[in-house]
Every structure is written in structure tokens, then in C-alpha cells.
Structure 1
């Protein structure tokens, strides 16, 4: 590749564990990253939500399923070379706050910590840490260069990011700002009132048979 080699790659909605997850295609993509097919200037991979489908899978699936485990190992290899950033989606953390309070942010930190704790002492814990998991990302111009700014809440924008990741050789306009998030924040309260509690229950439920039934219904019947 040439002078337009990407500095940042973004993926979302991989849904590892769901029946319709295209594991082979995603694995091929990761091998391309490992083999530097995108050029030598790649500096960050952003996973923008619904990477692990906790509505359809128990956490043990990500260790016992060979294809999924190999994907996680490939991500560990990538993390040794570039920054790996993760924004949880509605299939990884509950997103019911807006129905009752109108505020998506007030429970995010607690839910993020609970998500990370769920995978303690596992390969997932090796991939993601509290300062690389966030709710919002802004790519923008700083005084001394371009950077990805990570935030857990809107109150932190712009002055108090939980992490700041510099992106070299990226010439942005002075007023350039690109906001990245999973997108559940834009769902209607009516939708969240009916569907949000179902997602929340499935994420917290540990019965494999129940999740397997939902997995089949959601991915094969609907």
C-alpha cells in the first residue's frame, strides 16, 4: 500500500458466539492486520461494540470454541503491534438507563467494570483494560498532533479523557472532530423499554440452554 495507508481501522458488530457471526471472514481480516497488508502506518484498531455476543453465549464459549479462541489470540498478537480500543455495545453491557433516568452515562463505568471483572484471569482480560474500554471516542486535532480521545461519559468531553492515544502522520484540519460510539444511545426509549430489559436479562443469565434457544430464534427464525 502507499501514502494513503490507513492509520486507524474500525470494526463493529462481529457478534462472536452468535450463529450468524462470520468467524472465517473476521479471522481473515485479522490475519491481514498481522501480516501488515494495510501498510506499516497502521496505529490503532477500534472495535466499536457488539464484539462478544453475551446475549447468545456464556463467557466459557470464548475459551472452548476453537475458532473464537484463535480470533482472541490473533487480537493479542495485534495488540503487541498497535493500539486496541474497545467500545462495548448492547450485547455486552446492559443499556436500560435512558428509560428510567434519561442518562446513558451514569451507569456506564460500573457496567464497564462489571464486564471486565466477568472475564478476569482470561484471554479477554489480556485484550482489554479499563483505560482502553470506553463509551465515546473522539478523533481530533491537538496542539501537537492528532489523537484518539477516550471517554466514559459526556461530562468528560473534551477536557478529561480516560486515555489519549496519539496518531502519528495524520494531518487533520484544526476544527476536525469525529465522534465514535456504538449507537444504542440513539435508540428510542420505546424500543429500549421493550427490548432493553430482554438484552439485560440475557447478558446476565448463565444458563447455556436458554441462550442457545435465543441464539437460534434471533439468528435463524427472525
Structure 2
């Protein structure tokens, strides 16, 4: 059964979301503050977390940041903020999506379903290895290793990396990559810029020198491409 952790100090919001999630047959867990949320993540190991930014003890941003240290659970943030910089900041610390208050519970369900489908879907069947095993992607374990050391990637970072690595040399526009993490054609205004943030974060994790990348290359005026040399036969286009 799909497990959803809803973190909000407003009881009514939790009850409304719980009612909608119950209709989907999902198991719902509650947390009214950040400390309880961090405990529940470890105890329950949820498939998805709905996280309010404004909590009575620690902020939702801090909960997200601490969760991301050792858990890649998808996170949808609930926020009253709508400024683009605030949304980008949430993506930087590891959020997968945002819903701005006041929101439609149906919209939350739609976005939750889309994220769960993305996370559960395996894009490729065989392990990918590049530059004599320097970078490896195991889609079964959903694990990426660099020089044998596992990397901690957010679900969106992982999906972008897999999409690009599956076709080295192919140029992806920001819109192309956005579609990889927002399926069903559900695109939201202003989100293309978030791809730059994901790429920047990925470079910090997979590149020896993010200013002179080997794998995640910028194609000026067009987008990005994967520059690693495959150790096995992979389609080039």
C-alpha cells in the first residue's frame, strides 16, 4: 500500500488531504511539526511526503534539507509563498514539486500520482557505465555511483541524469528535461528555470570540477547534453 506522510500544523488541511488520499487507497500518516515529521520519515519510510513550509518548530525547508541527507522520498511542499525565488530555493534543497495555498486537494492528488509514477518507473533495463566505470547508474537499485561511491540524488536529479545518460550526445532543451520530471503534459509556468538549478546541483555531485564538466555539458542557446563516454553500447541519438 502506498504510504503518504502529511506534515502540517493545520488539522483541517491534514483531514481534507487524508480524505482524498483515502479514496485512492493510500495509507496516510500525520505529523504536526518538523521534529515529528523527521521521526515519521525514519519510522514509516513513506513513498511520498506532503510538507508545509510554515511549521511551529522548524521550517519545512529545514525538514526537507535534513531529510535529504539520507532519504530520497519525493516531497511536495505546501506554501503560501509564490515568488519564483522561493520556489527555486525549495528545489535547491530537494523538493520535487510545489503547491501554493490555497490549493485544490484534487490538484495535490494529481501531482502526487504523477510523482509516484515517475519514481516507480524504470527508464532503462541495464546498468549504464561511463568513462571506464567512473560513473555508473543502476536502474534496478536506482543508485548512482561515482568512483564506486554512492551519490545522494533527489528523484528529479536522478530522472534527469538517467534521461540524458541514456542517449549521450543528444541535446535536451530545458522543456525536454522538464517533461521528464512532469509527465502527462502537466507543465507549470516558470518551471523551466528549475532545470538550471537541477543541473547545477547535479554537477556539484558528479563532476570533479563543476566549472569544467565532463558529463553535464551546456549547449549554448539550446540546452544540455551528456558528454560521458559509454562503456557499453548505448544509442547515440
Task: Compute the TM-score of the two structures, normalised by the length of structure 1.
Answer: 0.30
